[in-house]
Structure 1
Amino acid sequence: MILLLLFLICPHLVLSLNQEGLYLQHVKLGLDDPDGFLSNWNDRDDSPCNWTGISCDSLTHSVNSVDLSNANLAGPFPIYVCYLHNLSYLSFNNNSINGTLPLEISKCGNLETLILAQNFIVGSLPGSLPEIPSLRFVDLLGNNFSGDIPVSFGGFRQLEVLSIVGNLLSGNIPSFLGNISSLKQLNLSYNPFLPSPVPPELGNLTNLEIMWLTGCNLVGKIPDSLSKLKNLVDFDLALNSLEGPIPEWITGFSSIVQIELYNNSLTGGIPVGMSKLTRLRNFDVSMNQLEGPIPEELCSLPLGSLNLYENQFQGALPASIALSPNLFELRLFNNRLNGTLPSELGKNSPLVWFDVSDNQFSGDIPEGLCENAVLEVVLLLNNMLKGAIPEGLGNCESLTRIRMRDNRLSGPVPEGLWSLPYLSLLDLMGNNLTGGIAKNVSSASELSGLLISRNRFTGSIPEELGQLDSLVEFSGSDNLLTGSLPGTLVNLAQLGRLDLHNNKLSGELPQGIQSWKKLNELNLASNELSGEIPAELGSLPVLNYLDLSGNYFSGKVPLELQNLKLNKFNLSNNHLSGDLPPLYAKENYKDSFLGNPRLCGDIIGLCPSREKAKSKGSMWLFRSIFILAGLVFFLGVVWFYWKYRSYKKVKKGSEKSKWILTSFYKLGFSEYEILDCLDEDNVIGSGASGKVYKAVLSNGEAVAVKKLWGVSKKVDLNGGDAPDDGFDAEVETLGKIRHKNIVRLWCSCATRDCKLLVYEYMPNGSLGDLLHSTKGGLLDWPMRYKIAIDAGEGLSYLHHDCVPSIVHRDVKSNNILLDEEYGARVADFGVAKVIEGFGKGQKSMSVIAGSCGYIAPEYAYTLRVNEKSDIYSFGVVLLELVTGRLPIDPEFGEKDLVKWVCTTIDQKGLDQVIDSNLDSCFKEEISRVLNIGLLCTSDLPINRPSMRRVVQMLQEFSVEHKAKTVKKEGKLSPYYYDDSTDQVSTV
């Protein structure tokens, strides 16, 4: 019937093309092919054997292979491909095949290899797959298959490889998989299975070479039955909740190349007998509770990668580790190791990453760490290392990151170390280093952090430092630096923190400091600086920490400083004079100005001479009391009016006498002034948590006041109710963090029945309002790009700079607020959570938080919270900025914005997703931000970069987000360097 229909529609097809070609033409008709990958599938050919992606048997000329990988094809799975009766190889790898995988797949009766990885297939796994008797290789990685693994999967007859990595499978890992005796590779990683033990039946898979069960929610002990897997090459049970010891029988895996058991709860020591594992190259048991010494026999193996960090290992590091000719990665940080580091480290090995931070190592730093000139990262923080920094590191041009903070190092820094061309961070804080900052520091063009505080550095700060365009932080406090601040420092446009307190600096502040638009902290306390305080300081838009105390500054306090919103403000112990600016002439600023005898303001104890004059005037006031008697009647009227207002407040549940004010900044207003502004005419917004008012205070300043609706309940997934602690979370979070891109919480006010949060007022509202309202055209691309960086920096601060780290859990465009210059601030921390020790695992929540369209797939299914959830949500915001679209839109059908973008680009091209309001001249930049957004919204959390890396990519527009790939025997394991942990993370 089908052939008859094809004949009637296109009679020339039947006349020229054989039957297999007709089937393939039907496949072509059912797929979208925007790139023309199938354009040479010519219906006038005799057979399809010369078509792109098609291979035929050399004798029978029958189609035996269809390989349409990376073809940008979209549409449902083309079942007509199974009409090719001799088809043995089928691949649609990395396309946009969608819909479900039909049960009719079993019609591919001679299929041996099926590859459908990296598509958008949904629904259940087809239970008919095992009906294909010759099937040996099945790869379904990176789709959206859900539900249980079908029972029929225990009936595969010849299957050797089963990969269902990174889907949405639930239930338990089934025991019947142990029946597939032919299996050589079992890859089920990154699926939200229910908490369950490793099925003992998997020990029956005696032909198994690769077992990859990473991130499968496994619990309990590693079963002894797995000891029968004598052919294992790669054994990976990482990122689970396994407990108990590492089994001793693991030393019987004579073929093993890679063992990865990191991020579990394993206890005990490394088993005896590791020397038997002569083929072992990569061993990772980090982030467990292991203890005891590091075995000599383990370090005597020719390892390439050894990761033992975040355990409780004790004793010395065996010197034999330095003899490995393969060692490129050695990470032992956060243990209890001591003794000296092996002197030969790096001399015999292509060492790239070296991290022994947070131990008790002593002695010298090995001289030959960079002997092979590939060393990139050296992390030695918080040990007891002494002596000089090796000269060899000063010649190591491959270095990108050096951290030697809090040791006992002494002597001068090798001159070459100051000028390494790719170095982004040099952290030498907390040592006894001497000498000065070398002038060749200007050659360190990538340097973003120069941290040399708490040493004995001398001399002046070189003018050449002002040539470091990427410098974000310069901390040189508690040294012996002299001379004046170089005028070139004002050229550091990216500078966010300048801390040089407790030195011997002199002279005046340089002219032009208004160029420090990103400066958040300026601390020059306890020096010998002089001259007047520049009025330009008041123009720095994000400055919230200013300490100039303990110097010789003179003249008046500039009136312009009133423009700043300061968390730390200290001008004490200088030679300032004159009247204080009105905003600061208040008692709560008294400590900021002590020790300036000629400085006066209406603050008790600040200006004794003025207080004496006031006491003389008090006699005149006494004589004037009689005159005031005539005002008694008027005061009575005022009293009555006040009582009436108080009655109204009580009626509203807002009696002022019961309000408790908790402030987080030095305030120029009281809670009573805030309460007077809570009028319906001042409402500027209303949401799920409450109303927001704009309150204009008597000093002309505006603040935003959120009045919470009251205690509400959220659904607890365990069946009960969970109190909504939004107020407590907001106060706990915002009350202790300070960053230019986090909205400031001035104070909170609370009674038993009502809670208020008082924020800085953001005149341009939320990003969501501007993007998705009639005002959307106001945001051109430069504005959107700036907003992306600002918001990213705010989230990066939460993830990487707060201790402990904070997950926002509700990142969305409506929670990104914009100031008068469209600078962005992250807001609304009502569901934020503090996560102790990122990297140690995920914290499970009993209550769903977040907003539809922004919730990461794994969070929605597992409720496990970590920073990757925020990164996914931020990726959605980036896609909003590029497309101008809502995260959920009826036009998308069942898709969300992420899936719509992917599908539309595949089918129609990039131009169809870019907001038409944006100028096409920015297309290249827009497309790069789009790519970053897609990277952030990867289905697999481990593929998402850290927030710090996201910000770097946005700032640099580089292609460095592509993973560095390290060849591991047994499989390719992509790696990328994660600045958030100073570690290399697996993609």
Structure 2
Amino acid sequence: MQMLHLVAALLLLHLRTVALALNQEGLDLIQAKLGLEDPNNALANWNSSDSTPCKWTGITCATISGTGGNPSVINLDLNALDLAGPFPAAICRLPNLSVVNLSLNYINSTLLNSSLLPCRSLTHLDLSQNLLVGSLPDSLASLSLLRYLDVSANNFTGAIPVSFALFPSLQILSLTANLLNETIPAFLGNISTLQELNLAYNPFAPGLIPSSLANLSNIETIWLAGCGLIGSIPSTLGRLKKLTNLDLSSNFLTGNIPDTFPGLASVVQIELYNNTLSGNLPLGLSNLTALRRFDAAMNLLSGSIPDDVFSIPLLESLHLYQNSFAGYLPVTAGKAGKLLELRVFSNNISGSLPADLGTNSPLMFLDLSENLLTGEISKGICDGGKLQEILLINNYLSGSLPEGLGHCRSLSRVRLANNRLSGVVPAGMWGLPHVWILELTDNSFSGEIPSNIAGATNLSKLLIARNQFSGNIPAEIGSLSKLYEFSASDNRLTGPLPVSLGSLPELGQLDLHNNSLSGELLTGIKSWGKLTKLNLADNDFTGRIPLELGNLPVLNYLDLSGNVLSGEIPMQLQNLKLNQFNLSNNQLSGPIPPMFHNDAYRSSFLDNPGLCRDFNGLCPSSAGNSHGRSKFFWLLRAIFIFAALVLIVGITLFYWKYWNIKRGKKMMDKSKWILTSFHKLGFSEYEILDSLDEDNVIGSGASGKVYKLVLSNNEALAVKKLWKSNSLKNDGANHHEAAYDAFESEVATLGKIRHKNIVKLWCSCSHRDCKLLVYEYMPNGSLGDLLHSSKASLLDWPTRFKIALDAAEGLCYLHHDCVPPIVHRDVKSNNILLDGDFGAKVSDFGVAKVVDAIGKGPQSMSVIAGSCGYIAPEYAYTLRVNEKSDIYSFGVVILELITGKPPVGPEFGEKDLVKWVCSNIQQNGEDSVIDSKLDISSKAEISKVLHIGLHCTSNLPINRPSMRRVVKMLVEVREESKPSLLPKDGKLSPYYHDEDEGNIA
């Protein structure tokens, strides 16, 4: 470090001698540049041969009185240039510098008081979205001219300094998305000049909203979303006459919405969603003449919706979903002239829709799902010509659809499932060009699917099951190149499947069961590369099962039962990894393919008289065998059975006489073991039980042991044995319950999923005294054991990268390709197992959870699952689990791979690996965190993956990428493409609200 300073000093001395023309401000800026890394050479034109810096990138000059008429630097704007390094203190030597914008860079280290004090002319300081750490500097309040301060999206910790109460002229204070963890202080109410107070998304200690904020007579924005606030909303906030934006969302607020809120004369937006507020909406909201957006969704509000809510003159958006409102939707809703968005789903609203809803307003988004609505859909619902979404799922609406919907070309989302609607769907609705989901399931619609469906070029989901649609499926459906799901079961459709259906490249689910479709099944279906579900059961299909079905790469649900199919079962079907398989009630003949000689498929072939169902494989080759040959096979079978019985009796006697005496009572009665297999097995449960010796134990824990077994066919297995509670002490019952819950979860999860990067569960064995899980054996053990041992040298960078990508693909499958998605909840290096080629597979699904309803948002769990150092910050605090929790944990695994260090350890002190990496990078650069065992020639790739890991471990869940995006970023790194790995989204908006969050519709 001293050498670096010496080089900088010598270079500066050289510049002084060579470039005597450059003024002092230019020299100061050159020194500031020397302390920064500039990977994109963004400051290349900061040329020391210039006389002034006024034409340099990011520099603005002006003539200031008292400077002799010479231009002086007043503005330094280096926003989003990927600059890295500590805050360049040299810029504060510029005497007239008033604006500094270093946002969206990698400015790191702590922000020192001594660095800022010389910036006496500063009026505007923007250091948002950087990597600054430590406490907020007290000296900021000493900058008497400072009006704008934005240090959001950094890693500042601790409390807001008491000195902040002394800002003499501050107007904007933005501390959003840091790690501030004390309560919100009351002294902020003393900054009388304040116009914006943005403190959202900090892990503040639980505390009340300071009533002193009512003293901020000039305040326009109060953004306190996600601040851990408790208690009631101070009624004194209602006297803030200049307040335009009030956001108290995503806290733990209780009590009523203050009846003083109608006094917020200037308010444009009120955000109260995701709290525990109760009581009625206050009367008098129609007095809010500037209000455009009101959101009190996801609370415990009740009573009826006041009529005057829709009399707010400029009301554009009203969100009251997921509350307990009852009564009718006010008729004034049809009179709201500016209304664009109305979301009141998941309440107890009854009665009919206002007859003129949509007639008098430019309505774009309507969601009244999950209520008790009756009557017809308003005839003029799309009269405004802008309706994009209409969601009325799970009501009691009746009558036919308005004809106007057939001309509503702005529609993109139509969901009307589970009502009592009837009649013919307006012809134009089938061909609307922007609709991507058309859901009419569970109604009484009739008529045919018309040929003009070809116009629905954006259609991805066509869901019309359980209606009374009739006629043929039109050939034009084959032109819907984006169609992913076509569900039309339980209707009256007839005729053959159109050949064009086989050419849909995006088709993932096709469910046409329980119709009257006929003809032969489609061949030439190579385009169905994404098909996962095919259900054509209970129709009148004839002919043979196409061989091509066995070549569909991801098909895991196949039901062709209840048809008139004939011929043999194609052997190619053994290529499929089927969770659901049913060929019952057909006219199939011949042998069942060997792969299906398994109890899991025993009910898959019922009522096929010509089908040989002998699971021992002693089938005649065809139905036409002679009677004599049939007798021969029966005789052969009888001989085989008799010989087997003799052998079994002999072995049993031998075991009873010798082996059982030798082993005593060590093994339990094998006859009481229940085997459940998930793949075709080349071994029996008895061979597993006989091998459970203490010499084979490779791991042990509170709930049981793990054995490595090598069977007679040289196949290696790993067996996890969970024992009964009487073998445990003290809290053994709790261990027993947890262990058996883990067993059930593991079986329920791994028994259904198939992926190359998910460890294979061969079978499970159950007994009243213990339970066994039998997995494929992974010879290189867990990533954690290998990485943090003397064998870590085996893991060079290409191997570590491969492990990261494999594990990411496994988690991506769980999050995005399983239906419903699965959250692992215990992602860690010890649960990533390595095969002989160091391929990685995700394991241990004992605490995994299914996300039951897409769009319901995070689910609260009763206990924390996960391991120390891997648990996402918000998960430990709220017990809310979703995919973002797994992504944080995976980010920790990436940091382990890069640093070679465990997630927690004494060398970190009170920090964990994530905080240690962040602080070390900020103080000493990236090289300081890279494992010394890694080849430095891979540094560029390691650096990119490091940034992916940091992206995944963002403190805010909203900033973490999806696992699909993580896989894409890792693939891009390997392909040496150079996309931006970190988001450059700009500032978090105080108006941000994901409308699909929590929307069950």
Same fold (TM over 0.5): yes
> What is the aligned counterpart of 1:735 among 738, 742, 748?
748
1:314 pairs with 2:319: no
Corresponding position of 2:523: 511
Report the secondary structure of 2:249's partner residue. Answer: coil
1:28 pairs with 2:46: no
Contact 1:236 1:259 in 2 (8 A): yes
1:964 to partner: Cα distance: 15
Corresponding position of 1:912: none
Corresponding position of 1:380: 392
- Opposite residue 326 of structure 1, the aligned amino acid is K
Contact 2:562 2:584 in 1 (8 A): yes
1:48 pairs with 2:61: no
Corresponding position of 1:796: 816
**Aligned equivalents of 2:943, 2:479: Cα separation in 1:** 31
Corresponding position of 2:453: 441
Corresponding position of 1:79: 89
Report the secondary structure of 1:735's partner residue. Answer: helix
Report the secondary structure of 1:973's partner residue. Answer: coil
1:545 pairs with 2:557: yes
> What is the aligned counterpart of 1:157 among 168, 182, 189?
168
1:197 pairs with 2:208: yes
**Aligned equivalents of 2:58, 2:555: Cα separation in 1:** 60
- For structure 2, the 5+ residue unaligned runs are 66-70, 620-626, 727-733, 928-934
- Flag the 1:589–1:204 CA change in 2: closer, same or farther, 3 A: same
- Opposite residue 153 of structure 1, the aligned amino acid is F
1:122 pairs with 2:133: yes
1:263 to partner: Cα distance: 0.3
> What is the aligned counterpart of 1:170 among 173, 181, 195?
181
Contact 1:726 1:829 in 2 (8 A): no
**Aligned equivalents of 1:932, 1:591: Cα separation in 2:** 47
Corresponding position of 2:686: 672
1:311 to partner: Cα distance: 0.6
TM-score normalised by length of structure 2: 0.80
- Flag the 1:289–1:795 CA change in 2: closer, same or farther, 3 A: same
**Aligned equivalents of 2:809, 2:842: Cα separation in 1:** 11
1:208 pairs with 2:216: no
- Opposite residue 72 of structure 2, the aligned amino acid is S
- Opposite residue 92 of structure 1, the aligned amino acid is L
**Between 927-936 and 326-335, the greater mean CA deviation after superposition:** 927-936
**Aligned equivalents of 2:51, 2:93: Cα separation in 1:** 18
Corresponding position of 1:830: 846
Report the secondary structure of 1:796's partner residue. Answer: helix
- Opposite residue 98 of structure 1, the aligned amino acid is N
- Opposite residue 792 of structure 1, the aligned amino acid is C
Q: How does 1:513-912 map to 2 (within 5 A)?
A: 513=525, 516-582=528-594, 584=596, 589-602=601-614, 636-643=653-660, 647=664, 650-651=665-666, 655-657=668-670, 661=674, 663=676, 671-676=685-690, 705-707=719-721, 725=738, 728-729=741-742, 731-732=744-745, 734-735=747-748, 738-741=752-755, 745=761, 747-749=763-765, 755-759=771-775, 791-796=811-816, 801-802=819-820, 807-811=823-827, 827-833=843-849, 839=856, 843=860, 847=864, 849-850=866-867, 856=872, 858-859=874-875, 865-873=881-889, 886=897, 888-889=899-900
Query: For each residue in 1:282-308, what CA deviation from the matched residue of structure 2 results, as whole angstroms up to 9, or x when unmatched?
Result: 000000011111111111112111111
Query: For each residue in 1:928-986, what CA deviation from the matched residue of structure 2 results, as whole angstroms up to 9, or x when unmatched?
Result: 999999876654323457779999999999x9x99999999xx7735666498478xxx
Contact 2:552 2:576 in 1 (8 A): yes
Query: For each residue in 1:719-768, what CA deviation from the matched residue of structure 2 results, as whole angstroms up to 9, or x when unmatched?
Result: xx999946624623651684555767565445688653235789999999
**Between 571-580 and 146-155, the greater mean CA deviation after superposition:** 571-580
Query: For each residue in 1:864-910, what CA deviation from the matched residue of structure 2 results, as whole angstroms up to 9, or x when unmatched?
Result: 54433234456788x89xxxx93545799987899799999x999xx
Contact 2:706 2:721 in 1 (8 A): yes
- Flag the 1:858–1:109 CA change in 2: closer, same or farther, 3 A: farther
Query: For each residue in 1:535-554, what CA deviation from the matched residue of structure 2 results, as whole angstroms up to 9, or x when unmatched?
Result: 44444444443322222122
- Flag the 1:545–1:49 CA change in 2: closer, same or farther, 3 A: closer
Corresponding position of 1:463: 475
> What is the aligned counterpart of 2:502 among 490, 495, 518?
490
Contact 2:847 2:865 in 1 (8 A): no
Corresponding position of 1:68: 78
**Aligned equivalents of 1:500, 1:477: Cα separation in 2:** 4
> What is the aligned counterpart of 1:99 among 93, 100, 109?
109
Corresponding position of 1:357: 369
1:818 to partner: Cα distance: 10
- Flag the 1:841–1:374 CA change in 2: closer, same or farther, 3 A: same
Query: For each residue in 1:491-517, what CA deviation from the matched residue of structure 2 results, as whole angstroms up to 9, or x when unmatched?
Result: 334433222111111122222456644
Report the secondary structure of 1:244's partner residue. Answer: coil
Query: For each residue in 1:583-630, what CA deviation from the matched residue of structure 2 results, as whole angstroms up to 9, or x when unmatched?
Result: 5556775543332334343489x99x99x98999799989999x9999
**Between 214-223 and 572-581, the greater mean CA deviation after superposition:** 572-581
1:689 to partner: Cα distance: 9.3
1:777 to partner: Cα distance: 6.2
Report the secondary structure of 1:186's partner residue. Answer: strand
- Flag the 1:679–1:864 CA change in 2: closer, same or farther, 3 A: same
1:315 to partner: Cα distance: 1.9
**Aligned equivalents of 1:357, 1:130: Cα separation in 2:** 51
1:436 to partner: Cα distance: 2.2
Contact 1:103 1:128 in 2 (8 A): yes
1:138 pairs with 2:149: yes
Report the secondary structure of 1:530's partner residue. Answer: strand
- Flag the 1:45–1:760 CA change in 2: closer, same or farther, 3 A: same
Contact 2:141 2:163 in 1 (8 A): yes
**Aligned equivalents of 2:641, 2:457: Cα separation in 1:** 73
Corresponding position of 1:256: 267
> What is the aligned counterpart of 2:991 among 966, 973, 976?
973
**Between 187-196 and 491-500, the greater mean CA deviation after superposition:** 491-500
1:135 to partner: Cα distance: 2.1
**Between 654-663 and 504-513, the greater mean CA deviation after superposition:** 654-663
**Aligned equivalents of 1:643, 1:722: Cα separation in 2:** 30
**Aligned equivalents of 1:227, 1:6: Cα separation in 2:** 60
**Aligned equivalents of 1:449, 1:98: Cα separation in 2:** 47
- Flag the 1:517–1:180 CA change in 2: closer, same or farther, 3 A: same
Contact 1:370 1:396 in 2 (8 A): yes
- Flag the 1:386–1:298 CA change in 2: closer, same or farther, 3 A: same
Query: For each residue in 1:144-176, what CA deviation from the matched residue of structure 2 results, as whole angstroms up to 9, or x when unmatched?
Result: 111122222222222222110001111211222
Count of aligned pairs: 942
Contact 2:556 2:580 in 1 (8 A): yes
Contact 2:670 2:686 in 1 (8 A): no
1:266 to partner: Cα distance: 0.6
**Aligned equivalents of 2:323, 2:64: Cα separation in 1:** 61
Report the secondary structure of 1:402's partner residue. Answer: strand
> What is the aligned counterpart of 1:300 among 298, 311, 328?
311
**Aligned equivalents of 2:551, 2:608: Cα separation in 1:** 24
> What is the aligned counterpart of 1:227 among 224, 238, 242?
238
Report the secondary structure of 2:132's partner residue. Answer: strand
**Between 772-781 and 548-557, the greater mean CA deviation after superposition:** 772-781
Contact 1:809 1:850 in 2 (8 A): no
Corresponding position of 1:911: none
- Opposite residue 143 of structure 1, the aligned amino acid is N
Corresponding position of 1:267: 278
1:775 to partner: Cα distance: 9.5
- For structure 1, the 5+ residue unaligned runs are 713-720, 909-914
**Between 721-730 and 115-124, the greater mean CA deviation after superposition:** 721-730
- Flag the 1:234–1:818 CA change in 2: closer, same or farther, 3 A: same
**Aligned equivalents of 1:459, 1:566: Cα separation in 2:** 32
**Between 404-413 and 441-450, the greater mean CA deviation after superposition:** 441-450
1:819 to partner: Cα distance: 11
**Aligned equivalents of 1:636, 1:316: Cα separation in 2:** 78
**Aligned equivalents of 1:549, 1:701: Cα separation in 2:** 36
Contact 1:330 1:355 in 2 (8 A): yes
Contact 1:875 1:937 in 2 (8 A): yes
